[in-house]
Amino acid sequence: MTPADIHGLSTDLAHQGVRGVHIGWVDNNGIVRSRIVPIGELEAAAHRGVGVTAAFAVFDSHDGITFAHEGLSTPSGDVRVVPVIDDPADVVRLAGQPHLAWTNARQLSADGDPWPYCQRAVLELQVDRAAAAGLELRAGFEVEVVVAKEGDDFVPAHRGPAYGPNALRDVDEFVARLLHDLAANGIEIGQLHAEYGESQVELALAAEDPLALADTQVLTRQTIHSAARAEGLRVSFAPLTTTAGAGNGWHLHTSMSRDGRNILPGEGPHGLSDEGRGYLGGLLRELPAIVAVTAPSTGSLLRRRPGYWAGAYGFWGVENREAALRLVPNSRLLGPERTNVELKACDASANPYLALAMVLGAGLAGIAEAADLPEPVQEDVGTWEEERRASAGIAALATTHEEARAHLVGSDLAREVLGEQLLGAFVACRDADAAWAAEHSVEEIVESHRWRY
Ligand code: GLU
Ligand code: MG
């Protein structure tokens, strides 16, 4: 949009009562950060951004700053967070906070050049690579969230049963407000239900292109937090909110399109095309590095337990919910465009831009190289003897920082997709979190993240 268009837009918003605009971005812990500018400053902010410390790239999940990454080892350095406003709809007046609007930002150097630590730019690059190959990712998140009564202690807001309408009756006003606010904020969902975990709710975001989806996911967080607060509730997206029971997964569903048509389905085994096999094979072979980005936190590692449908083992299956990669095939009822792959090992501590970039990068390489795909496994491999898993080539995904770190730093894909500098900062954040965790109990780790997501 031209400066004049943005000026007109901000004048309209001001007339509607909008006083300020959040310029939001997501750090390497999946934590959303923002600056508010007065509405009259939006035009200037769209041009030159707002200055923030470069240290946001090395904030850990407890707001500690690690100086262990060579490129950002001092308190010096300023970057610009610049709202991405290509269309009037990119500035969203928040239904739950109508005095404010929301924009998503990219981060640029002080001179306005690309900044190697900008997570959105990492995804933009993969989207461009896909476009150059004539391909487009389509993606949607399932958002699991624990709803609690307002207050510091965790007091469940609904009492189940899982999937029960009566459970949602306990939080009826929240649900009503949420459905209203999501629609008003332009967020499309497929469905909402009382999830399996204690006081858990889930909603499924409609599929979009990756940049739109990541932006939507960030806005969704703010929308849910606001709707909860307005009803005397508090929500947590943390991978684990208590040490017992199911965690919050933000499962990521993806498919790949060419000319608007899903290329995953085909005449091959399991209803896959050759490119579909390559795509899934690409994700499978890179899974250890992918999940180090899509479920990266100390809480993610604790959430990764067999039997919780959270993707504890690196294998794929057709509609197998215990598999880290679940193929959702076409069906006669659902039609010929439905095929997608669900990544279970993904949660809210992932930066959505980086998560999507890793999946897209792995999928593109898998298609280009016609990556191998083993036979699917339809069982719960967590019930197998270790020997049987080993002979089937199935390994547990990382549950310790050391394992996850090794997968990340040893991955050519991670280096290529994230870039050397961002990878270094990302690993430094994980190291800082691990050092914190080493001094604390599992309960303390879980508690420390509960109200940060
Ligand atoms: N709550 C589970 C998780 O941590 C997922 C349950 C489901 O499959 O919806 O990922
Ligand atoms: Mg679920």
CA 246–ligand 1 middle distance (angstroms): 7
Is the shortest distance between the CB of 303 and ligand 1 below 6 Å? yes
268: CB partners within 8 A, 6+ apart? 274, 276, 277
Pocket lining: 308 vs ligand 1, CB cutoff 6 Å: yes
* Nearest ligand to residue 344 Cα: 1
Q: How far is the CA of 322 from the centre of ligand 1 (A)?
A: 9
Which CATH architecture is the domain 126-450 placed in?
Answer: 2-Layer Sandwich (3.30)
pLDDT on residue 1: 93
Q: Which residues contact 202 (CB under 8 A, 6 or more apart)?
A: 142, 143, 144, 145, 192, 193, 195
Does 158 sit in the ligand 1 pocket, CB within 6 Å?
Answer: no
Q: Please tell me the distance between residue 140's alpha carbon and the centre of ligand 1 in angstroms.
A: 15
Beta carbons within 10 angstroms of residue 51's beta carbon: 11
* In the chain, where the domains are located: 3-115, 126-450
CA–CA gap between residue 78 and residue 64 (Å, rounded): 18
User: What pLDDT is recorded for position 28?
Assistant: 98
Evaluate: CB of 96 within 6 angstroms of ligand 1. Answer: no
- At 410 the pLDDT is 97
DSSP symbol at 335? B
Alpha carbons 291 and 311: distance in angstroms, whole number? 10
405, burial (CB in 10 Å: exposed 0-12, middle 13-18, buried 19+): middle
What is the rounded CA–CA span in Å between residue 23 and residue 35? Answer: 5
**What pLDDT shows up at residue 292?**
98
CB 127 within 8 A of CB 211: yes
- The residue whose CA is least distant from atom 8 of ligand 1 is 309
Q: What is the DSSP letter of 59?
A: B
pLDDT score, position 220:
98
E-assigned strands of 329-438? 340-343
| 16, containing H or E segment | none
**Å from CA of 233 to ligand 2 middle:** 21
- Closest Cα to atom 7 of ligand 1: 309
Q: Which two tokens stand for residue 223?
A: 């929308």
Q: Please give the single-letter amino acid code of residue 165.
A: P
State phi, psi for 38 to the nearest 5 degrees. Answer: -60, 150
Could you give the 3-state DSSP secondary structure of residue 114? Answer: strand
pLDDT tens, position by position, for the chain (453 residues)?
Answer: 999 999 999 999 999 999 999 999 999 999 999 999 999 999 999 999 999 999 999 999 999 999 999 999 999 999 999 999 999 999 999 999 999 999 999 999 999 999 999 999 999 999 999 999 999 999 999 999 999 999 988 999 999 999 999 999 999 999 999 999 999 999 999 999 999 999 999 999 999 999 999 999 999 999 999 999 999 999 999 999 999 889 999 999 999 999 999 999 999 999 999 999 999 999 999 999 999 999 999 999 999 999 999 999 999 999 999 999 999 999 989 888 999 999 999 999 999 999 999 999 999 999 999 999 999 999 999 999 999 999 999 999 999 999 999 999 999 999 999 999 999 999 999 999 999 999 999 999 999 999 999
What are residue 239's phi and psi, to 5 degrees? -55, -40
Show Cβ contacts of residue 324 under 8 Å, excluding neighbours closer than 6 positions: 287, 291, 311, 312, 313, 314, 315, 316, 343, 344, 345, 397
Residue list, CB under 5 A from ion ligand 2: 202
3-115, superfamily in CATH? Glutamine synthetase, N-terminal domain (3.10.20.70)
Query: Does residue 159 contact residue 228 with C-beta atoms inside 8 Å?
Result: no
Its pTM stands at 0.98
Which atom of ligand 1 is least distant from the CA of 202?
Answer: 9
Assess contact for 251 and 303: CB atoms under 8 A: no
Query: Which atom from ligand 1 is nearest to the alpha carbon of 251?
Result: 10
